[in-house]
Amino acid sequence: MEKRQLGKSGLEVSAIGFGCMGLSYAYADRPNKKDAIKVLHAAIERGYTFFDTAEAYGPYVNEEIVGEAVSSHRNSLVIATKFGFKNGSPGEVDSRPENIRAVCEASLKRLRTDRIDLFYQHRIDPSVPIEDVAGTVKDLILAGKVKHFGLSEAGIKNIRKAHKVQPVAALQSEYSLWWREPEDQILPLMEELGIGFVSFSPLGKGFLTGKIPSDTNFSKNDFRSMVPRFKKENLEVNQAFVDLLTKVAKEKNASPAQIALAWILAQKPWIVPIPGTTKIERLNENAGALDIQLAKEDLQKINLAASHLKAEGERYPEQFQKRIDRET
């Protein structure tokens, strides 16, 4: 698989990464540990080198699965994990320096490694100055326990402040054909500062694959059951995005998922999507997006058609929306 550089950080990763969250968290269809490790091993064999996890995905179990799966391949891989929640649970934020240091030590053990390649602040903690967060990660970098500093769902003001203390290698935020808000201010800032951009949910939490009909009833242990964008009436409207991708996919002899990923890859050379999956055939399908060349005319056609579409429904329930940093 071809590689990409995350901005000017020097951090080289596979052009498509692997989002590990769904192996143990958020979705109803979760594999057992043995099958999860099989999927990760298949990803490594396919050429994926960039694996994204977090203490909050479980909590803790996701890092343990990743740690066991990658241990024999560690030196050829880039492992990203995250800090920023209290007690490892995605509820109350906690980016106090002492918690960052404690999370780092615990994550190193679960990941069976001596360094974290990319350490993200999972969400901004309004009670802790971002300069203190960046300074703490800087100390961990100087100690050799962390290689690069990242932010997730951070706003412009905090990105700039953090970057002055410790260069930010990558910002991770949602980005896809049906969530393009980062294009307004975030992506221009990434280009200005030389920061890489990691796109999570590049397939719209599975919706852009075309495999989620509007009458889908998500189980209570599936995060999407709480997401306004996945309510039946909104899915019916949002189907227009899938129809667009399906039309282009037929022209390119590809799948809608591959077109969705190819579109992201075509935006900037320092953008890396991290789709997740629990199925080996899907990780191979996702990697196939790199074989699809969208010409300038193709992109213009997609963008023109998409400009007439509007995504219905918020991408998070209200309690999660509050955690997104929108300070400019």
Residue with tokens 């590809």: 254
Q: 3-class SS at 165?
A: helix
Domains and CATH numbers, the chain: 3-204+268-292 (3.20.20.100)
14: which strand partners? 3
So what's the pLDDT on residue 15? 98
So what's the pLDDT on residue 204? 97
**Residue type for position 120:** Y
So what's the pLDDT on residue 323? 83
So what's the pLDDT on residue 228? 96
Task: Report how far residue 131's alpha carbon sits from residue 110's, in angstroms, rounded to the nearest whole number.
Answer: 27
Print pLDDT tens along the chain (328 aa). Answer: 999 999 999 999 999 999 999 999 999 989 999 999 999 999 999 999 999 999 999 999 999 999 999 999 999 999 999 999 999 998 899 999 999 999 999 999 999 999 999 999 999 999 999 999 999 999 999 999 999 999 999 999 999 999 999 999 999 999 999 999 999 999 999 999 999 999 999 999 999 999 999 999 999 999 999 999 999 999 999 999 999 999 999 999 999 999 999 999 999 999 999 999 999 999 999 999 999 999 999 999 999 999 999 999 999 988 888 888 888 7
Inter-residue contact 49 to 76 (CB < 8 Å):
yes
Catalytic site includes residue 57: yes
Inter-residue contact 159 to 195 (CB < 8 Å):
yes
So what's the pLDDT on residue 175? 98
Catalytic position from the list 27, 48, 57, 120: 57
So what's the pLDDT on residue 322? 80
Residue count (the chain): 328
So what's the pLDDT on residue 327? 81
Residues 6+ apart with CB under 8 A from 315: 174, 179, 201, 227, 228, 229
Residue with tokens 């992109």: 299
Residue with tokens 């492992």: 79
